[in-house]
């Protein structure tokens, strides 16, 4: 782990003079405290800051990098933090960066952005289209990085008033790689009392936000199975053991898991999205590979699905005289827990976001079957995740994420930067977590 050059220089100077000064902590009036969200939003809407965030996002968009390969993106982030005079630690989880703004003392609150792109070819023709064949920011992580850097600019200007430390979490490999899990393992959450994260959404109007307390996004896992038989000529199938026929029976039986074994009020999904077998019209192959995903809103339901998926695949293969091996790919694609929002942080979010955009623009989100590795953070400490609107009716509908025609409405950026900064600042100033009061935590 290395510190930024800026921080190393500071530490040397402080050591030379035998003391480490701390930033001042001005006391704020109740009105000044209440005005923070609105003030951050007005500052974030300035052409200078908005255009800066847009430029950052477009640079990242042109050079997408997959999970654990975000070296250029990470370098861009560190360069910008250096320019702002914000100390950081690097690396976490290969390419992750963790920055610090404030006193360097408790309480600590985290705000997070993911950095990775998807293995997709971009179909949108525009000036800043991906320059890397087969890779694209099709989920908005480029926008997430830009907005967190925008929040860093706002917070750095306000650093003398912070009553603790804001931790900037730039995280790799959200798209199936479990980057948040590796960040936790590398100590990125050390001392942090609570963490906030967001995701842009084309279904929600610009200037609005959507979320809910409790379970928000499903736990998810992947599976891959090889069903083996005996290949041969398609004209004499009785001399073969057909793995294609066995695989179709497996797939049909897997669909019964949700329709006949799950409580209708307990949302679950099992989807087979991969089927590979055979290469000729008149040859029955020796084996077929199938794969897919399964999701649920409780750990119990999730583990039940895992158990039954393996039982069904192996059992149905045996019925058809085949054999099967099942791999849940946990070494490459770790299971994502359910994303659960803290009830206490929900009240905090409602207050802060309501002050910023008005209570009428806060939307109650339905639970979503999509998964999010922010859940690895919220398993460890109180966490809160929400969706940031970017829909503009006058511009027509936006393509959904993970789509080659996905686009980002950059009008949303000031709201993302401002809500990040406001949630963190007011958390430190107003909540003053009991964990910080009841025990002394390490300084940075």
Share of the chain above pLDDT 70, in %: 91
Q: Give me the long-range contacts of 5-10 (CB less than 8 A, separation at least 24).
A: 5/82, 6/82, 6/85, 6/86, 6/87, 7/87, 7/88, 10/87
Find the domain containing 136 and state its range: 21-217+338-438
At 29 the pLDDT is 75
Do 248 and 357 lie in a common domain? no
Give the span between the Cα atoms of 305 and 294, in whole angstroms: 7
Residue 267: φ, ψ to 5°: -65, 130
242: number of Cβ within 10 Å: 23
At 6 the pLDDT is 45
Q: Which positions make up the binding site for Mn(2+)?
A: 139, 141, 175, 199, 402
Do 353 and 308 lie in a common domain? no
Domain with residue 362: its CATH number is: 3.40.630.10
422: number of Cβ within 10 Å: 25
Residues 6+ apart with CB under 8 A from 113: 141, 144, 145, 147, 148, 169, 170, 171, 197
Do 213 and 224 lie in a common domain? no
Examine residue 7 and state whether it is found in any structural domain, yes or no. no
- Least Cα distance to 292 among 256, 333, 339 occurs for 333
Residue 4: φ, ψ to 5°: -65, 155
From 274, 303, 327, give the residue that closes a domain.
327
Confirm whether pTM is higher than 0.75: yes
At 434 the pLDDT is 52
At 431 the pLDDT is 63
The length of the chain, given as a count of residues: 444
From 274, 297, 327, give the residue that closes a domain.
327
At 432 the pLDDT is 60
Low-confidence ranges of the chain (pLDDT < 70): 1-27, 431-444
């Amino acid at each position: 782990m290395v510190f930024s050059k800026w921080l190393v220089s500071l530490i040397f100077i402080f050591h030379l003079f035998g003391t480490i000064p701390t930033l001042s902590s001005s006391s704020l009036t109740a009105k000044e405290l209440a005005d923070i969200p609105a003030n951050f939003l007005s500052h974030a809407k300035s052409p200078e800051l908005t255009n800066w965030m847009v430029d950052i996002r477009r640079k990242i968009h042109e050079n997408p990098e997959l999970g654990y390969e975000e070296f250029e993106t990470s370098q861009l982030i560190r360069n910008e933090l250096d320019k702002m005079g914000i100390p950081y630690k690097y690396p976490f989880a290969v390419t992750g960066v963790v920055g610090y703004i404030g006193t360097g003392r408790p309480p600590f609150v985290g705000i997070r952005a993911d950095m990775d792109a998807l293995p997709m070819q971009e179909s949108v023709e525009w000036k800043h289209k991906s320059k890397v064949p087969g890779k694209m920011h099709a989920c908005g992580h480029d926008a997430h990085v830009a907005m967190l850097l925008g929040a860093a600019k706002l917070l750095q200007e306000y650093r003398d008033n912070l009553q603790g430390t804001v931790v900037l979490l730039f995280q790799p490999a959200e798209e199936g790689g479990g980057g948040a899990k590796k960040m936790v393992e590398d100590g990125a959450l050390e001392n942090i009392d609570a963490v906030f994260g967001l995701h842009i959404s084309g279904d929600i109007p610009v200037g609005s936000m959507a979320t809910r307390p409790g379970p928000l996004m499903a736990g998810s896992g992947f599976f891959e199975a090889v069903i083996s038989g005996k290949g041969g000529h398609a004209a004499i199938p009785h001399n073969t053991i057909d793995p294609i026929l066995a695989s179709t029976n497996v797939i049909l039986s897997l669909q019964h898991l949700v329709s006949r074994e799950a409580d209708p009020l307990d949302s679950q999904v099992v989807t087979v999205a991969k089927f590979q077998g055979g290469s000729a019209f008149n040859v029955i192959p020796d084996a077929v590979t199938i794969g897919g995903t399964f999701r649920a809103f409780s750990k119990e339901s999730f583990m039940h699905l895992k158990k039954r998926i393996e039982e069904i695949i192996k059992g149905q293969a045996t019925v058809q005289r085949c054999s099967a091996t099942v791999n849940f790919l946990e070494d490459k694609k770790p299971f994502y827990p359910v994303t659960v929002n803290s009830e206490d942080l929900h009240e905090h979010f409602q207050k802060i976001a309501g002050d910023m955009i008005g209570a009428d623009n806060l939307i109650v989100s339905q639970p979503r079957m999509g998964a999010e590795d922010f859940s690895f953070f919220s398993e460890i400490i109180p966490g809160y995740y929400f969706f940031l609107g970017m829909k503009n009716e006058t511009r027509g509908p936006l393509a959904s994420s993970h789509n080659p025609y996905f686009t980002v409405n950059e009008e949303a950026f000031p709201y993302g930067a401002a809500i990040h900064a406001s949630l963190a600042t007011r958390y430190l100033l107003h909540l003053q977590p009991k964990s910080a009061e009841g025990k002394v935590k390490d300084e940075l």
